[in-house]
Each structure stands twice: as C-alpha cells, then as structure tokens.
Structure 1
C-alpha cells in the first residue's frame, strides 16, 4: 500500500510539473508544434539519467521508496518517456542492441497505431 501512495504522490507532482511546463510554453507563444511535450520528454529523460546514474554511483542500494517516489512517480508523472528512454538504454548497455532497437520501434509505432485505432473506433460510434 505504501508503494502506491509514494507513486501516487510523486505522480501528482510530476503531472503538475508537466502541466506547468505546457502553460509556460503556451504563454511564451509557442504553438502549432508540440514544443511542451518535446521539452518535457527531453527534460524528463535527462532527469532520469541524472537520477539513476547518480544514485547508482553514490548509493548502489538506494531505497525502493525513493525509486518509487522519484523515478516511477515524479518522473513517470512528468513524462513516461523518461522510463521508456531508461528501458531502451538499459537494453543497449546490456549489449542487447537489437532488442533495444526493436523495443524503440515497437513502442513508437505500436503506440501511434493504437492511438489511430482508438480514434477510429470512437469515430465509428459517433457516425
């Protein structure tokens, strides 16, 4: 139960951060391209790299609670792209380059196809 609360609390903060970034980008006058999402994905991936790399070096046995709150909750709520990026890099670092490539391609392509399918299904119901 504690794990769910840690992830939920971190996720709420991360989601508010993502929303705040979107508001700032829109107020700066950037529209017509998903700049906010791009920025959040890059910042979240950088933060995940700094967090995982730093904690692995400084505290190899960093607490499960910290991982749940920060990595899964906060950064996961900010952007799931950071977790996706970590998974891809982990595969590459394990020498599983082809698996990493397959994971990246499958994740991106399948997710876009799934979104199109979801839209198509909902639009059929509206017709």
Structure 2
C-alpha cells in the first residue's frame, strides 16, 4: 500500500477516535458542569491546542514514520477531537440568546487559552525531543 493510502487510513482511524473522544468529553462536561456554558468544547479545544503544539515539535525530525504519526495524531485524532466549527456555532447560540457576556468569555478563554497552550505544548515537545 502506498504512503498516501496509509496516511488516509490513519487519518480516518484517528478522526473516529477523536470524534468519539469529543463526544465523551462533551457528555461528561455537561453532566458535571451543566448546560450553561460549552465546557466540553472548551476542554477539547484547549487540550487539543496543547497536544498540537507538543506533537508538531516532538515529531520534527523523527524520520519517515513521523509523517504517519502526524497523519494519525494531528490530522486525524486532533482534527476529530477539536471543534472550531462547534466553537463558532456555540458562540452564535449565545449571541442569539442575548448572552453576549458568556459568548465573549467563551471566545476569549478558547482563543487565549488555545494560543497559550499551543506554545506550552511546543515548549514541552522541544524539551523532550532529544
């Protein structure tokens, strides 16, 4: 099987696992923290930002298998886990419900938290890449 097909299958498998993870985290967060704020999406987006930063750096220079791991972990798993489109829809829902304070808090936490965590993840990846 050529490399492209291998990558495609890995992306598909990782995407299925990531989507299942998002579903599980979303359900857990709703049960634990309630429906008032989209905690599940925030949690997976922040965790995904950290993991993406870490993996991007950690996988650099790891040879030909790094391409397969990147397809599985970053494109597949994190692509299925993180939810930018859900972030936007949830922001719209808050705006339409005249809950602009929650919408702004959610967007700020997601964006600033995500940027912070992607850099922290990259820093961890650099320190462990040896």
**Structure 2-normalised TM-score?**
0.56
Whether 1:78 and 2:81 are equivalent positions in the alignment is yes
Aligned to 1:68: 71
Greater Rg, structure 1 or structure 2?
A: 1
Aligned to 2:41: 37
Deviation >6 Å, runs of 4+: none
Q: 1:30, CA displacement in angstroms?
A: 2.3
Quick one: higher RCO (CA 8 Å, sep 6+), 1 or 2?
2
Task: State the alpha-carbon separation in 2 of the partners of residues 80 and 72 from structure 1.
Answer: 13
Task: State the alpha-carbon separation in 2 of the partners of residues 36 and 60 from structure 1.
Answer: 35
Task: State the alpha-carbon separation in 1 of the partners of residues 66 and 19 from structure 2.
Answer: 23
* Contact 2:44/2:83 (8 A) holds in 1: no
Q: Deviation digits for residues 31-86 of structure 1, max 9, x if unmatched?
A: 11111111111010011111112222x626652111111110011110155xxxxx
Residue segments in structure 2 that go unaligned for 5+ positions in a row:
93-130
> Secondary structure of 1:3's partner?
helix
**Structure 1-normalised TM-score?**
0.57
Residue segments in structure 1 that go unaligned for 5+ positions in a row:
82-107, 116-127
TM-align CA RMSD: 2.6
Task: State the alpha-carbon separation in 2 of the partners of residues 70 and 13 from structure 1.
Answer: 10
